[in-house]
Amino acid sequence: MMVKNGSVIYVAHPEKTIDPSVHTHYVEDSIDLDNVPLNGGVLLKTMYLSSDPYMRYRMRDPSQPAFVPPIILNDPIDNFGVGQVVRSDDPKFKPGDYVYGYLEFSEYFVYPGKIHHEYKFPLTKIEKLPNVPLSVYVGTLGMPGTTAYQALKYFVTEKFKTAKTMFVSGGAGPVGTFVIEYSKAMAPHLKIIASAGSADKVKIMQDAGAEVAFNYKEQDTFKVLREHGPLDIYWDNVAGPTLDAALQNFRDGGLIIACGAISQASHDDSSVVRHFDEIFKRSLTVHGFVVATGESAAAAPHFFEDVVPLVRAGKIRSREHRYVGLREAGRALADVHTGANTGKAVIVVSEE
């Protein structure tokens, strides 16, 4: 059966922000679902695609080194996603199975049997949880959740025992709300301060359990932290001036998880850190963390056994900003870079 097959192609490197109409291009082709050769791979129907801030680092001139592989010009974009098996050459999968993997931004495509791409980890079969959309696998149970879970579990478990106050920046995104909710579940005594850039995001952070939630565009971060600190833990999703404000409001011996630096993706003057010296003056520890590349989120030890019960109990919840249709994918990529989305940015390619 021949069907239309839309795709989103990467067509130009952004200098600073992403302009969907300049840097991405939606194209339509057709695909023969019954006869397209699989070569040991699996034909997938794409359901959900993730848009994540780190993608900005992939959208670059490939001559520039970075911690993630570049997206190739004039190829379809790819990222974490959820799909359904249409046909399979791989005995581990049968038609109808739901899978999680590193998917092309196409309605249909063949997930290769042999993996060359650094991110093309083997597909993982996933289970549908009752009353939770499968898109949870690109958010709470996907890369953002794994990121938050692993760093909290490895680096913060001990500190939870004595910490009084924690600050989370980028607190309304999928990593931020996971951090707030998981920390509350592990350390109910903890006072959590959380920042983001809109009134809607403030509501999300309050809903997630932050005692002090504020809009950094309207309130001065330094003053809020001075009033509600000092900090024992800072989960840093943004770096730049927010980090500077946190550094000056830490208790001695505090802990920073450096998990993102969106303000630094383009290294302009607004993104510099001026108070690094507080790290030695206050004897702080900083753990930089990026979720392991080249492995499935599902490979994090104990991730599903620890987190799925919290999801089922409603203690860790997903909040999504849905972009319907591949034509909206470029907008989804741009929004997570500027913060225009509210909740986990999910591109809905086909409904469940």
Residues within the interface to a copy of itself (CB under 8 A): 66-67, 239, 243, 258-261, 264-265, 267, 271-290
Which amino acid is it at 210?
A
Least distance (Å) between residue 119 CB and a copy of itself: 15
Which one, 272 or 340, has the nearer CB to a copy of itself?
272
Which one, 136 or 257, has the nearer CB to a copy of itself?
257
Which amino acid is it at 111?
Y
Which one, 79 or 237, has the nearer CB to a copy of itself?
237
Which one, 288 or 325, has the nearer CB to a copy of itself?
288
Q: Using CA atoms, how far apart are residues 48 and 239, in angstroms rounded to an integer?
A: 29
- Could you tell me which of 89, 105, 115 has the C-alpha nearest to residue 46? 105
- Could you tell me which of 319, 44, 331 has the C-alpha nearest to residue 171? 319
Which one, 20 or 176, has the nearer CB to a copy of itself?
176
Phi and psi (nearest 5°) for 169? -95, 160
- Could you tell me which of 229, 234, 233, 199 has the C-alpha nearest to residue 213? 199
Q: Using CA atoms, how far apart are residues 317 and 296, in angstroms rounded to an integer?
A: 21
Least distance (Å) between residue 67 CB and a copy of itself: 4
Least distance (Å) between residue 327 CB and a copy of itself: 32
Least distance (Å) between residue 57 CB and a copy of itself: 8
- Could you tell me which of 306, 244, 231, 298 has the C-alpha nearest to residue 275? 244
Token pair recorded at residue 300: 């994090």
192 to each of 180, 181, 213, 283, 288, how far by Cα in Å? 7, 10, 8, 22, 21
Residue entry with tokens 């040991």: 40
Which one, 243 or 348, has the nearer CB to a copy of itself?
243
Which one, 277 or 352, has the nearer CB to a copy of itself?
277
Token pair recorded at residue 101: 């993997």
Least distance (Å) between residue 252 CB and a copy of itself: 8
